[in-house]
A and B are shown apart, each in its own frame.
Chain A
Amino acid sequence: MSFESYVSILDSTVRLGTPLLLACLAGLFSERSGVFDIGLEGKMLVAAFLSAAVAYTTGSAWLGLLAGIAGSLVFSAIHGLASITFRGNQLISGVAINMLASGITVLVGQNWFHQGGGTPALSGAARFRDMTLPFANELRDVPFLGPIYAELISGHSVLVYLAFLLVPATWWVLYRTRFGLRLRAVGENPAAVDTAGVSVVALRYAALAIAGVLCGIAGSYLSTALAAGFGREMTAGRGYIALAALIFAKWRPWQALGSTMFFGFLAAVSIRYPTIDLGVLVIPNEFMDNLPYILTVVVLAGFVGKAIPPRAGGEPYVKER
């Protein structure tokens, strides 16, 4: 294998890992506040659909992004209403969101565009185009570092850079701000936060809203940057892989970057090399596709350190009986 093909696989890793990273950070905020969020998949799907639909109609990818975020926020609000205000089961609410998204996108899409639930192909300003960073073309011929800069670092959509910047931002918010401290506390011991006079409900809604925005960006990236248009079920399980990555990262932002990029790398490799021949045995494609889930089980089983979820996760907060 040549050096160029390594760079090309890593390039592909960044593209495929970005939606996972955004969704994983969304899950991080939500779960750190004590609200499990199985509905990442559904929120991304709705955002992907609305982004593509609005971008196609208006011809602007940025308006599409806003629409995607709005749609995802609405779904976040539904999740919040069911699981925070009405203290319903968070997992069931999340599953319901996924099913609702899967149905409503195709139904509305068919009604609007009559293309089997998809949107027409996007072109021009309706898509986020790849950005060329300064000097990328001039430095291309520099040995070793040139291709890395020109291919791997430059030449991605603006949303990719945004996603990477969100990692330190998330770390800063969680560990260096008052809001972050309270958010983490509300996921561990909401009663203590409540005793201190901080509203548990407001904090959890805020966390879900942030998760909604991040899922919106993830969905928008899928349909208006990675692909050119929405297709039925286009998230294809990425929300679940992001959840797996979140557990793998043990609910920490920098580790989330690592785990999502690792899963992105697995996806990139399985696309390029459908079967990997190790001489003695052949690894089939399906194994690579399922590796994220297998690894998650391994981590959860406690083989690689211990994955301890936020203590109050999954439980609605009851102030008084």
Chain B
Amino acid sequence: MSLMTKFLGATAALALTAGAALADPAIIYDLGGKFDKSFNEAAFHGAQKWAKETGGKFREVEIQSEAQREQVLRRLAESGANPVVMTGFAFGDVLNKVAPDFPKTKFAIVDMVVNQPNVESIVFTEEQGSYLVGLMAGMASKSGTVGFIGGMDIPLIHKFECGYAQGVKAANANAKVLVNYTGTTPAAWNDPVKGGELTKGQISQGADVVYAAAGGTGVGVLQAAADAKILSIGVDSNQNYMHPGQVLTSMQKRVDNAVFDAFKAGADLKPGVKVMDLKAGGVAAAMDDNNAKLITPAMKAALEKATAGIEDGSIKVHDYTTDNTCPVQ
């Protein structure tokens, strides 16, 4: 087996070096997989958009296990890729270790702050976007019970949950928010069957809008919700198209824009923390033809009001990660 891994590693390294013109940007997808229809797929779309607009080439690697993180990151940096973008907080520790070894290479990491002179940390204000979709969920729910299904049980996803709960309560102070997490390991990002079972569990407890913040697991959540003819809310990518008329909206996290910007900046990528908030268009509640019929005028008005409120600071949405508590349950 280990011999096999070595061979595979060697072939991968060959393939990487052979195809590499200097300073092509590169992207590494996390365990959810490139085609998770959510977080990683958004990153892929950003990279694709860059390739289309500039005619440039980029390299991409989809890791298959935890052990590959450092290996892949080093290999890309060694082969001259610049900048190297990675999606997912889980790369944080590894990048902290690897970045100082390649001072001339620029790195960008999504969803995590890494304090190194050659790293750009891109973070989103997920609580604001989640607040908006929570508001819509609270207004759309007839039973007064809504659900939240998180992927891996980590502070970042609690940030989604907390923002969502605050939005739901803003629409309906008596509403009940059911919360489930898929798991405690990165496998929780890609377990649609478990996501579907959790959704069915929440439906049996009366939930009629379910928000999935769970990467590839969300596919199962949206499917189970559509099967039971209740509403669901997608995450990261615009997932409204997956079950037209059944997905209330999607909490879009513009990972695609972040990756596009990083690729565009190339070797001139500016290190530091980049906050993509509601104002900067980093997060949004997705609106398109697929969910147009579900959005009432009252919902639209409330949404516009909340957006304006968050932007001018009159509505403060609590960020779970600042103190690891949530003011509403």
Contact = CB atoms under 8 A, between A and B. Distances in A.
A, B assembled together = yes
Interface of A: 4-5, 7-9, 11-12, 15-16, 115-116, 118, 121, 129-130, 151, 222, 226-229, 231-232, 234, 236, 268, 271-272, 274, 285
B204 interface: yes
B201 A116 contact: no
Contacts of B223: 121, 227-228
B75 interface: no
A231 B181 contact: no
Interface in B184-222: 184, 190-194, 196-198, 200-201, 204-205, 216, 219-220
Given A12-B197, A121-B223, A130-B227, A227 B204 contact: no
A228 B242 CA distance: 12
B35 interface: yes
B35 to A, nearest CB: 4
Contact of B220 (A227, A236, A268): A227
A231 B197 contact: no
B159 interface: no
Contacts of B192: 227-228, 231
The 9 closest A-B pairs by CB, nearest first: A8-B204, A116-B35, A115-B35, A228-B223, A271-B197, A116-B33, A227-B193, A227-B192, A272-B201
Contacts of A228: 192, 219-220, 223
Nearest to B220: A227
Contacts of B204: 4-5, 7-8, 11, 151
A285 B183 CA distance: 8
Contacts of A8: 200-201, 204-205
A53 B123 CA distance: 38
Contacts of A151: 204
A274 B181 contact: yes
Interface of B: 33-35, 62, 153, 180-181, 183-184, 190-194, 196-198, 200-201, 204-205, 216, 219-220, 223, 227, 242
Given A12-B200, A121-B219, A274 B33 contact: no
Contacts of A285: 183-184
20 contacts: A5-B204, A5-B205, A8-B204, A8-B205, A9-B201, A12-B200, A116-B34, A116-B62, A118-B35, A121-B242, A129-B227, A227-B196, A227-B223, A228-B192, A228-B219, A232-B33, A236-B191, A268-B197, A272-B201, A274-B183
Contacts of A231: 190, 192, 216
A236 B181 CA distance: 19
A15 B193 CA distance: 10
Nearest to A7: B204
A103 to B, nearest CB: 11
A12 B201 contact: yes
A226 B219 CA distance: 13
B35 A271 contact: no
Contacts of A121: 219, 223, 242
Contacts of B180: 272, 274
B197 A15 contact: yes
A171 B219 CA distance: 39
A1 to B, nearest CB: 11
A38 B8 CA distance: 26
B198 A271 contact: yes
A130 B200 CA distance: 13
A292 B191 CA distance: 20
A298 to B, nearest CB: 26
A290 to B, nearest CB: 13
Contacts of B193: 222, 226-227, 234, 236
Nearest to B228: A130
A243 B223 CA distance: 30
A129 to B, nearest CB: 8
Contacts of A130: 227
A29 to B, nearest CB: 26
B206 to A, nearest CB: 9
Contacts of A226: 193, 196
Nearest to A15: B197
A231 B223 CA distance: 14
A271 B195 CA distance: 9
Nearest to A113: B35
Given A228-B219, A274-B153, A274-B181, 10 more contacts: A5-B205, A8-B205, A15-B197, A116-B62, A222-B193, A226-B196, A227-B196, A228-B192, A271-B197, A272-B198
A164 to B, nearest CB: 19
A274 B153 CA distance: 10
A15 B196 CA distance: 11
A16, A115, A231: most-surrounded residue (chain B CB, <10 A): A231
A151 B228 CA distance: 13
A186 B181 CA distance: 48
Contacts of A9: 201
B32 to A, nearest CB: 10
Nearest to A9: B201
A183 B242 CA distance: 49
A5 to B, nearest CB: 7
B197 A274 contact: no
A121 B247 CA distance: 15
A129 B226 CA distance: 12
B184 A274 contact: yes
Nearest to A233: B190
B44 to A, nearest CB: 10
A87 B179 CA distance: 54
Contacts of A268: 197
